[in-house]
Amino acid sequence: MKKKLILSCIVGFLLCLLSVIPIYASECSHVWETVYRIEPDCLSKGSEMKICQKCRKIETISLPVSDHPWGEWQITTAPNCTYTGIKTRTCTFCYKTQQEDVPTNGIHSWSDWKTATNICTEEKKAYRSCSYCHTQETTIIPASNHVWGEWYIDKKPTIFKTGVRMRYCINCLTEDKIIIPKQKMTTAQKQVKKSVDRFFKYAKQYNTSKLTKCFTKPSSVKLFIENSYMPQYYKKYNKRISYELKSIKVSGKNATVKLSYKYPNRYNVFKAAFENSVYYQLKNPNISESQLLKYMYERICVHSKAGIDYSHGNLTLKLKKSGSAWKITSFNSKIDNLLHSNYTKAYNDYF
């Protein structure tokens, strides 16, 4: 619009000028002079106005639309072994884009090499495939030495168990390990272990007289001494008690022992026998205590035939040196349950 306005003004001016200038013959050999020119671009035409220096004739010429001033070609989609790519260029004036195909280049997009086995010290056949055309390529990877990482302690040794030092090949993850010998026990630790082993020996035998001597306060130990039936039961089933020492720490005349255990769990057996005995006593109110205890023991034996459940757990024993022997300082509920297969717990829960 601006171009047209300017052109109109110029034309008007020239027409006014011609009205006062004499006109020459029609055979004038024109001598043209450009008085105004609007350059064309890629979107619109241009124009040029010229005037003859002799006869003052005016001519206006339309200039055709010009070519796009293209920028450089840019690869917008890369070609590969299967598909053509695309290159694009943009006009720097009107921002029109032009695209052309880029021919396939035969370059594969290979996956990583894969093998059936990954052991460094074995020769192996490897293959890879192109993710576009699925062409496969194979090669032989020769055997090589392991590339070991640093050694580290996987399991610390104790006085009861060996430890393990390990390392891995950083390429194939093959493991290499060395057994670390057990730590040596001190004389005090050996004495404490001997006392704990002795306690479990008597627990398995249900030797009541010797069990009480394993404690600093024998009077605090609650065992079936008066009842002639239950010791028979525990002599039979306590043989299944097992334990594993985890650690022994000794400080002067005090020691702490940590262990894991497993023992027969008769909780449900005892509760069932208690219930039977209560009903039996209700039906037989004049029954003597010894007869009732015998009946209860018989019911315990009957219910025990159904199978054995086990209780598992961890136990911390505190021991104190008494003379030349180490003795357990307290008789707690865990020890009671271990010795009596959860009898006390079942009794307290039922009654």
In order of start, what are the domains of the chain with their CATH numbers? 2-63 (no CATH), 146-183 (no CATH), 187-350 (3.10.450.50)
User: Among 32-41, 268-277, 325-334, which is the least confidently predicted range?
Assistant: 32-41
**pLDDT band per the 50, 70, 90 thresholds, residue 117:** confident
Vertex 217, ends 211 and 219: CA angle to 5°?
75
Report the percent of the chain where pLDDT is more than 70. 92
Does residue 17 surpass a pLDDT of 50?
Answer: no
Contact (CB, 8 A) for 164 and 155? yes
Q: Where are the beta strands (DSSP E) in 110-162?
A: 114-115, 124-129, 136-141, 152-155
**What are the tokens at 290?**
């010894």
pLDDT for position 20: 43
| Distance between CA atoms of residues 311 and 265, nearest Å | 5
| Distance between CA atoms of residues 244 and 133, nearest Å | 62
End-to-end Cα spacing for the chain? 109
pLDDT for position 329: 97
Tell me the pTM: 0.60
Whole-number average pLDDT of the chain: 90
Given its phi and psi angles, is residue 141 left (phi above 0), alpha (psi -120 to 50 degrees) or beta? beta
Give pLDDT tens digits for 95-116: 999 999 999 988 888 999 888 8
